[in-house]
Structure 1
């Protein structure tokens, strides 16, 4: 498939790596790198809709899945109205678990799924159920990825602190002030620009996990979202303001966001330093995957999620289901983003790793 876009002199290895990524693609993707405010890599290609052969264009939007969490973490840090040391019930009296806001943001609250019948697209009803739910462990004692409930909990905390929905806050705090093509609660008029998602053959979640009993918990955690191409491509999913995963955006806008953060914009430096230090780390109690979290941000980890050791020192951002990878290398003063509509299992997907290795070699 043809590669479109540009790279700055010296970044040709990234174009070569992206060419290899597209050569093996059934769908489409984009990879962007912004350094000190300048796009040094902005590449795209493949198919935005493989079923009808619609090409991926410069302005193609893609569902970010959990890449959304990094955008929402930025909103939380920029507003600085949620005290991580405060008990959740200080803002949310109905919340029964003895958890702090920092434990919610760092995936240690022990509420990884909504118990009982629920509509995963309804933040308010899911939040009400979670408020009455007993945690699986004493909050703060274990780390385990809260794939969807992170969003329900954080959206409710932000609503109570600001009186506004999380989608409104993404627009007002991040997207509009900085001219970023990022959306949470994507409006109908952008549907024509949005890539259609597809799962690669054999796609599976939680590929580090072998225990069948914990697999059942993980299946409850994801609530069937990634089991159906139709569900993840539905307008209802894109319209929902799911702070854990329904945002859409372009790779260039995500890279610009993380470049801005790396250069001290959007979030006050002291606040960003607090948000990007390790608040939790260890092996996921449910998924058996090594994790490190700040306050909503994923951090560099032992398995190289954020690129080669050295370059990724101090890295933060958030990956997304199926292969998306978005973040900042603060020491290099750059942001990067890989978006794709072809979901691959983590143990069979080296696309973002290859691109970050090529990026490192180009610096």
Structure 2
């Protein structure tokens, strides 16, 4: 498969919209149902009926039973309380039992963490959303004078004109070299005038923001995220990249072709290619702000609960409002999209947040395997993580169904 076609397929899967509820998810196969965990991780002292939690768990375990993935985690906050934190299945084809502490590659659900590093710099008074990137990183514009008009707001909202940088995107061998990545971002030229259109920044989102933070405070985004976000929120199992892959057990990714269950042989295609790529130790050790978050569903849900709580002690109220407000509403790669400064918004027909998601729901998906969102109207923070990469059609259906179940039972 050609690189450009491959990246296009990955982008479509990462952004993906859901399918009609009546669409088939493939043949159902039997299998040993994973034993549900005790409810020590599923608090029931809120005002939620136990039967509601049971129905959510039933939907969660049913997806493992149908062999849509080897293992998964689900974490849900409701009214500032962690009401559900469960895991099931295995950490891969030959893996151990999945637990709530198993760490996963988070793909594009990393982007809101990366955006959070910029919002932190805004809170610190070091940058502003409407600053030009060249104000803080003069060499950013050296190879294309149009880049002098790119603002930080443009980057956060996928409107910079640098939606792809093939010299980095297609070369994983440089992902772990911050100096080389910065140089290649400086050499890149715009595809269009900044602010004139929206194009999902599949990987360049991280390249640009990492270069920006290095030029502002001399630190990469992984350091800033750890100090300013993960540590204060007690997100002890999350990082952007990992220092030593041998020292951390990360769930093994598996790519599935449409309608394949886990007992079928793996077929060649973009899902298998991406799974193999992101299972590599050197990739997991790289700081890829758009894709190599390594963490748990519990920590993802904790982050969105922080945003529901007006930023707690991590972000100011003003910055939290900017983070979680709609910035742009327009077509992105043939689909209507509503984006903010690091998240996207729900409420569109067939949305992968679920058919019951209102326009106020915000969050982010991760390539064919993960979904996260916050629902301010119902005070719910949701994170669903799996180790099975599926195409946009099947993935959107499974995450939308689970999201709708959670919203229905907790609202």
Is the Cα–Cα contact under 8 Å of residues 254 and 272 in structure 2 kept in the other structure? no
Distance 1:289 1:190, change over 3 A: farther
Deviations along 1:264-320, one digit per CA (max 9) or x if unpaired, are: 2122122111122222232213xx2332221122222524232344x5442222110
Is the Cα–Cα contact under 8 Å of residues 329 and 338 in structure 2 kept in the other structure? yes
- Aligned residue pairs: how many? 339
Question: After the TM superposition, which residues 48-59 of structure 1 pair with which residues of structure 2 at under 5 Å, given as runs?
Answer: 48-50=91-93, 52-59=94-101
Structure-2 separation of matches of 1:353 and 1:167? 30
Using the size of structure 2 for normalisation, the TM-score is: 0.77
Question: After the TM superposition, which residues 95-244 of structure 1 pair with which residues of structure 2 at under 5 Å, given as runs?
Answer: 95-96=140-141, 97=147, 98-116=149-167, 118=171, 119-180=174-235, 181-188=237-244, 191-202=247-258, 227-244=273-290
Is the Cα–Cα contact under 8 Å of residues 86 and 101 in structure 1 kept in the other structure? yes
Is the Cα–Cα contact under 8 Å of residues 115 and 342 in structure 2 kept in the other structure? yes
Q: Which residue number corresponds to residue 362 of structure 1?
A: 409
Deviation, structure 1 residue 115: 4.2
Deviation, structure 1 residue 191: 4.7
Largest Rg, 1 or 2 = 2
Structure-2 separation of matches of 1:156 and 1:226? 30
Q: Does residue 280 in structure 1 map to residue 323 in structure 2?
A: no
SS at match of 1:49: coil
Structure-1 separation of matches of 2:297 and 2:119? 21
Comparing 87-96 and 7-16, the one that deviates more? 7-16
Using the size of structure 1 for normalisation, the TM-score is: 0.87
SS at match of 2:84: strand
Structure-2 separation of matches of 1:124 and 1:362? 49
Structure-1 separation of matches of 2:332 and 2:293? 24
> What do you get for the CA RMSD once the two structures are aligned?
2.1
Distance 1:189 1:197, change over 3 A: closer
Is the Cα–Cα contact under 8 Å of residues 107 and 293 in structure 2 kept in the other structure? yes
Q: Which residue number corresponds to residue 86 of structure 1?
A: 131
Distance 1:313 1:283, change over 3 A: closer
Deviation, structure 1 residue 172: 0.6
Structure-2 separation of matches of 1:122 and 1:292? 33
Comparing 225-234 and 101-110, the one that deviates more? 225-234
Structure 1 residue corresponding to 2:317, chosen from 246, 258, 269: 269
Structure-1 separation of matches of 2:38 and 2:212? 40
Structure 2 spans left out of the alignment, 5+ residues: 1-32, 45-49, 142-146, 260-269
Q: Which residue number corresponds to residue 207 of structure 1?
A: none
Structure-2 separation of matches of 1:5 and 1:147? 39
Structure-2 separation of matches of 1:120 and 1:202? 30
